[in-house]
Amino acid sequence: MIASLQQATRTIPIVFVFIVDPVGAGFVESMAHPGGNITGFSSFEYSMSGKWLDLLNGSPQQGGLLATFCEAWARC
């Protein structure tokens, strides 16, 4: 799914969760400095959910729409 979103846009921010190897998959340059419009977390950590909201609140796009995507096997 991330690959499809990556092909569809280079301007809309994309935040991934639970990607095993986002660097190896070519979604980001590195976890420390992802570059482009894609960033996220390589594993789901409940204690980090507050940080995710902080990141979204700090987004330069105010009043936008938030959508979440999840693989069926992850039971999100």
Give the residue extent of every domain in the chain: 1-30
pLDDT given for residue 60 in this prediction: 64
pLDDT given for residue 7 in this prediction: 87
Q: Is 37 in contact with 13 (CB distance < 8 Å)? A: yes
- Give the 3-state secondary structure of residue 68: coil
pLDDT given for residue 73 in this prediction: 60
Residue 6: φ, ψ to 5°: -60, -40
pLDDT given for residue 1 in this prediction: 80
pLDDT in tens, 25-67: 888 888 778 888 988 877 655 556 677 777 777 766 666 666 6
